[in-house]
Amino acid sequence: MVFTVDIPELQCNLANWFRREGRSLPWRDTVSPYLVAVSEIMLQQTRVPAVIPYFLRWAEKFPSVQDLAEASEEEVLALWQGLGYYSRARNLHRFAREVCRRFGGQVPSGEGDLLALPGVGDYTAAAVRAFAFDLPAPVIDGNIARVLARLFDCHLPVDSAAGKKFLSDAAMKLQEGEISSRLWNSALMDLGATVCIPGEPACGRCPVREFCKAKHPSTLPKKKAKAEITRISEARGLCFLNGKIWLEKSAGPRWKGLWILPEIEEPPGCEPVVCLEYPITRYKVTMRVFDSLPAPSSEAHDAEAFQNLPMPSPHRRAIALWMSSATKK
Ligand code: SF4
């Protein structure tokens, strides 16, 4: 596709708008490639307001890649708890150790080197190159994808191979010239977050509306049909004796290293003491928790101190619900 826009003028309009209206975000106060990587990995599947307090706590506890590399997995998971998708925390930990082992504690700027690090995919590599090293890179998150699809009236599904190629070409084309990649990508991201929003965009106050080709922007971007949500159910055992609660350390890929309620066979004819639902990827899980004896794989923990253990949110929530209903009885 030929991108027929006056790129310097478009860049100038958007950059001026960003200097006036851009968001103040804590990871924008740093060009530390390590902290940029932390913010980007936290922002995968999590919204900005939820990430901010986690990022600030993380930057205080592990200000350098060496600090993180030297931390125990338990400390890392404890700081991450509540943010979900714990494989990101484990990958970040491995990322720090690899950066120290292979690159002497300096996060590399080369795309190939970055992509070889744990937890770093195309998006994170591009974001680190742009935001930390100010190198041209196709940073395409949901906000930028929406803006680019609308600016160029692109009707290809943005999650298809053809759509991704289009967005990547458009993103690189729009960074040509003197513009700072850090500034440009931040500006495009903020335009998508605050003006060119999902649904009905605020075109009346858009700094690039004179360049926009979208005829029906609220219908863009297009996406492939979603996979259907599958409902599944699981039974968990809750054993509480003498002020102790029995938990097992998960060895499964999703929650490896976190403390969870052990999975049990559902006891016939029993009512659960807690029942809750939570989503995981394309599944909606119903967790039914039953009073049970200690599972052989479990260990006793002081129930008062269970808050300090690294646990996935649904399990923490189930215990808290059970405790509040037990106190009421
Ligand atoms: S004019 Fe409207 S649709 Fe086009 S980029 Fe601006 S806000 Fe988005």
pLDDT score, position 210:
96
236 and 148 within one domain: no
pLDDT score, position 327:
64
The verdict on residue 287 lying in a domain is: yes
The pLDDT of 143-154, averaged and rounded, is 97
pLDDT score, position 3:
66
Strands (E), 148-215: none
Residue 196 beta carbon below 6 angstroms from any ligand 1 atom: yes
Q: Share the mean pLDDT of the chain.
A: 94
Q: How far is the CA of 195 from the centre of ligand 1 (A)?
A: 7
Strands (E), the chain: 230-238, 240-241, 244-249, 259-260, 274-280, 283-291, 299-302
Please return the burial class of 215, using the count of CB atoms within 10 Å of its CB with bins 0-12, 13-18 and 19+. Answer: exposed
234 and 197 within one domain: no
The pLDDT of 179-208, averaged and rounded, is 97
Q: pLDDT (tens digit, 9 = 90+) per residue, 68-84?
A: 999 999 999 999 988 98
Residue 214 beta carbon below 6 angstroms from any ligand 1 atom: yes
179 and 245 within one domain: no
Of 163, 186, 219, the position where a domain reaches its end is 219
pLDDT score, position 223:
95
Residue 212 beta carbon below 6 angstroms from any ligand 1 atom: yes
CATH number for the domain spanning 191: value is 1.10.340.30
The verdict on residue 224 lying in a domain is: no
pLDDT score, position 1:
60
Residue 173 has pLDDT above 80, yes or no: yes
Q: In this structure, what token pair is assigned to residue 59?
A: 């930057």
CATH number for the domain spanning 313: value is 3.90.79.10
Q: How far is the CA of 125 from the centre of ligand 1 (A)?
A: 27
The verdict on residue 201 lying in a domain is: yes
pLDDT score, position 71:
97
Residues sharing a CB contact under 8 Å with residue 187, sequence separation 6 or more, in sequence order: 14, 15, 17, 18, 22
205 and 60 within one domain: yes
pLDDT score, position 61:
98
Q: How many CB atoms lie within 10 A of CB 6?
A: 11
The verdict on residue 1 lying in a domain is: no
Residue 151 beta carbon below 6 angstroms from any ligand 1 atom: yes
Of 193, 219, 245, the position where a domain reaches its end is 219
Q: Which atom of ligand 1 is nearest to the CA of 212?
A: 4
Among residues 222, 208, 218, the alpha carbon closest in space to that of 151 is found at 208
The verdict on residue 165 lying in a domain is: yes
235 and 210 within one domain: no
The verdict on residue 87 lying in a domain is: yes
328 pLDDT tier (thresholds 50, 70, 90): low
127 and 43 within one domain: yes
Q: Which atom of ligand 1 is nearest to the CA of 213?
A: 4
Q: How far is the CA of 210 from the centre of ligand 1 (A)?
A: 9
252 and 174 within one domain: no
Question: Are 143 and 167 in contact, with CB atoms under 8 Å apart?
Answer: no
Among residues 217, 112, 110, 225, the alpha carbon closest in space to that of 159 is found at 225
Residue 253 has pLDDT above 90, yes or no: no
Residue 68 beta carbon below 6 angstroms from any ligand 1 atom: no
The pLDDT of 6-24, averaged and rounded, is 96
Of 194, 219, 244, the position where a domain reaches its end is 219
pLDDT score, position 2:
57
Hey, whose CA ends up nearest to atom 4 of ligand 1?
A: 212
171 and 39 within one domain: yes
**Residue 40 annotated to the active site:** yes
Q: pLDDT (tens digit, 9 = 90+) per residue, 94-126?
A: 999 999 999 999 999 999 999 999 999 999 999
Pick the catalytic residue from 9, 21, 40, 210.
40
Q: How far is the CA of 155 from the centre of ligand 1 (A)?
A: 15
Q: How many domains does the chain have?
A: 2
Three-state secondary structure of 279-321: EECCEEEEEEEEECCCCCCCEEEEHHHHHHCCCCHHHHHHHHH
Question: Are 169 and 187 in contact, with CB atoms under 8 Å apart?
Answer: no
Range of 207's domain? 7-219
The verdict on residue 301 lying in a domain is: yes
48 and 166 within one domain: yes
The verdict on residue 174 lying in a domain is: yes
Q: How far is the CA of 223 from the centre of ligand 1 (A)?
A: 18
pLDDT score, position 329:
57
114 and 16 within one domain: yes
Q: pLDDT (tens digit, 9 = 90+) per residue, 233-251?
A: 999 999 998 889 999 999 9
209 and 254 within one domain: no
54 and 165 within one domain: yes
| Helix, strand or coil, per DSSP, at residue 144 | helix
The pLDDT of 182-196, averaged and rounded, is 97
Residue 262 beta carbon below 6 angstroms from any ligand 1 atom: no
Residue 150 beta carbon below 6 angstroms from any ligand 1 atom: yes
